């Protein structure tokens, strides 16, 4: 059996397969099944800024009523010692996961504002998180906001966290940056230990009966993995930062491609929701078989051998491949133009 270990975020992983942020980490038994199936680390579902802000506002309203001193106010809104904020619940779940699992647990923060992260980051670190993943899921829909402004948002979040925590931090990125290498280099300089590429944006659909715009949760398709593989290759060729890929990894073959181009970790979500945690075991068996057939002794031996810098034909990751792909089109059988 080949040595499947990999390093990611300063953590020694027994293999490169990580369970990515998903509802599976809300349940201790499901999390345990992920570990038993071979997951090398677990990213928790996110702690959402929206929830924290809503609770803060509720608390402020409550304090305001108390301060007004209406005779009835305190009976309408009595203090509730048993009330658990989303932060409290999250920290409790993090501690339970840490107690139940042997693998590293990565906490996840999800929000778009530039402030507030310092305190939450420190709380997660104190509760035992082995690392943090930050997801700035931001849809840039303001014509006054420049690309540099959007990047600044991420860089500020990273700078706040860098000050607050000593555990490693990964930033989960969207695929929609004009110059991903330049931006990632600046994230690295701001203290990011890894990038997670790429967030999937869920698409809103239009119901043609009601004309309502409805967000749709659609699980990923394996074709999406190729975008991640390509950018992992380009990033690895230029920067030392750790790389985890997420989005479309359903097949062992695509996991192998991500490792060949230099990924440190492959995060899995849709495949686990569709097939259950045991999909990890199948992928690990496939990875081990592939390494064995090619006489690799370890994942480390092949990791990065096809990055943009090392590939025999680096242009295949760039524009040069575009013309060739267009020229390769042949009409499907039976279709005439
Ligand atoms: C039901 C569901 C819940 C998710 N929850 C989170 C979350 O809380 N935080 C986060 O950063 N990503 C979340 N994701 C995104 C996944 O972690 C992952 O990055 C994405 O689904 C792409 O990977 P996949 O193709 O393997 O599904 C969620 C995805 C799904 C389908």
Give 329's DSSP letter.
-
Phi (first) and psi of residue 42, to 5 degrees: -125, 125
- Count CB-CB contacts under 10 A for residue 167: 21
Phi (first) and psi of residue 195, to 5 degrees: -115, 145
Phi (first) and psi of residue 329, to 5 degrees: -65, 130
Residue 200 beta carbon below 6 angstroms from any ligand 1 atom: yes
Considering only CA atoms, which residue is closest to atom 22 of ligand 1?
247
Query: Strand 204-206 to strand 213-215: parallel, antiparallel, or no bridges (unpaired)?
Result: antiparallel
One digit per residue, pLDDT tens: the chain, 337 residues? 899 999 999 999 999 999 999 999 999 999 999 999 999 999 999 998 878 777 777 767 766 666 666 555 555 555 556 678 999 999 999 999 999 999 999 999 998 776 777 789 999 999 999 999 999 888 888 999 999 999 999 999 999 999 999 999 999 999 999 999 999 999 999 999 999 999 998 888 999 999 999 888 899 999 999 999 999 999 998 999 999 999 999 999 999 999 999 999 999 999 999 999 999 999 999 999 999 999 999 999 999 998 888 888 887 777 767 778 888 888 889 988 8
Burial class (CB in 10 A: 0-12, 13-18, 19+), 314: middle
Of 22, 133, 171, 283, the one to substitute when testing ligand 1's pocket (max ligand atoms within 8 A of C-beta) is: 22
Burial class (CB in 10 A: 0-12, 13-18, 19+), 330: exposed
Report which of 27, 21, 107, 90 is spatially closest to residue 55, judged by C-alpha positions.
90
Q: List 8's β-bridge partners, or say none.
A: 11
Contact indicator for 90, 96 with CB cutoff of 8 Å = no
Residue 174 beta carbon below 6 angstroms from any ligand 1 atom: no
Phi (first) and psi of residue 149, to 5 degrees: -65, -45
Q: How far is 59 from 85, CA to CA, in rounded Å?
A: 10
Q: Structure pTM?
A: 0.91
Q: How far is 300 from 131, CA to CA, in rounded Å?
A: 22
Residue 20 beta carbon below 6 angstroms from any ligand 1 atom: yes
Phi (first) and psi of residue 212, to 5 degrees: -85, 145
Of 18, 20, 46, 219, the one to substitute when testing ligand 1's pocket (max ligand atoms within 8 A of C-beta) is: 20
pLDDT score, position 331: 85
Residue 15 beta carbon below 6 angstroms from any ligand 1 atom: no
* Homologous superfamily in CATH for domain 6-327: Aldolase class I (3.20.20.70)
Place of tokens 């706040």: 160
Q: List 196's β-bridge partners, or say none.
A: 172, 244
Q: How far is 207 from 95, CA to CA, in rounded Å?
A: 42
Q: Is 205 helix (H, G, I), strand (E, B) or coil?
A: strand
Query: Strand 265-268 to strand 6-8: parallel, antiparallel, or no bridges (unpaired)?
Result: unpaired
């Amino acid at each position: 059996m080949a040595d499947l270990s990999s390093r990611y975020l300063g953590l020694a992983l027994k293999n490169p397969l990580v369970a990515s942020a998903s509802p599976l980490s809300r349940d201790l038994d499901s999390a345990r099944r992920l570990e038993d199936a071979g997951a090398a680390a677990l990213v928790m579902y996110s702690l959402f800024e929206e929830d924290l802000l809503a609770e803060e506002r509720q608390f402020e309203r409550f304090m305001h009523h108390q301060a007004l001193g209406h005779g009835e106010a305190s009976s309408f809104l009595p203090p509730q010692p048993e009330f658990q904020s989303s932060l409290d619940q999250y920290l409790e779940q993090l501690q339970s996961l840490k107690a139940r699992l042997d693998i590293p647990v990565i906490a996840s923060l999800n929000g778009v504002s530039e402030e507030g992260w310092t305190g939450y980051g420190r709380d997660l670190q104190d509760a035992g998180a082995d690392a943090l993943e930050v997801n700035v899921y931001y849809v840039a829909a303001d014509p006054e906001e420049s690309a540099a402004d959007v990047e600044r948002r991420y860089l500020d979040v990273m700078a706040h966290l860098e000050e607050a925590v000593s555990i490693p931090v990964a930033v989960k990125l969207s695929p929609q940056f004009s110059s991903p290498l330049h931006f990632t280099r600046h994230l690295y300089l701001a203290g990011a230990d890894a990038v997670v590429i790429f967030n999937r944006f869920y698409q809103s659909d239009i119901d043609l009966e009601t004309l309502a715009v409805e967000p749709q949760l659609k699980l990923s398709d394996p074709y999406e993995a190729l975008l991640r593989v390509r950018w992992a290759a380009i990033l690895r060729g230029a920067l030392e930062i750790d790389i985890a890929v997420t989005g479309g990894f359903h097949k062992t073959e695509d996991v192998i491609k991500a490792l060949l181009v230099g990924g440190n970790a492959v995060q899995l979500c849709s495949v686990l929701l569709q097939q259950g945690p045991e999909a990890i075991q199948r992928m690990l068996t496939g990875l081990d078989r592939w390494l064995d057939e090619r006489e690799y002794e370890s994942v480390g031996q092949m990791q990065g051998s096809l990055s943009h810098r090392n590939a025999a034909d680096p242009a295949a990751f760039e524009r040069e491949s575009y013309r060739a792909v267009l020229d390769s089109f042949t009409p499907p059988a039976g279709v005439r133009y």
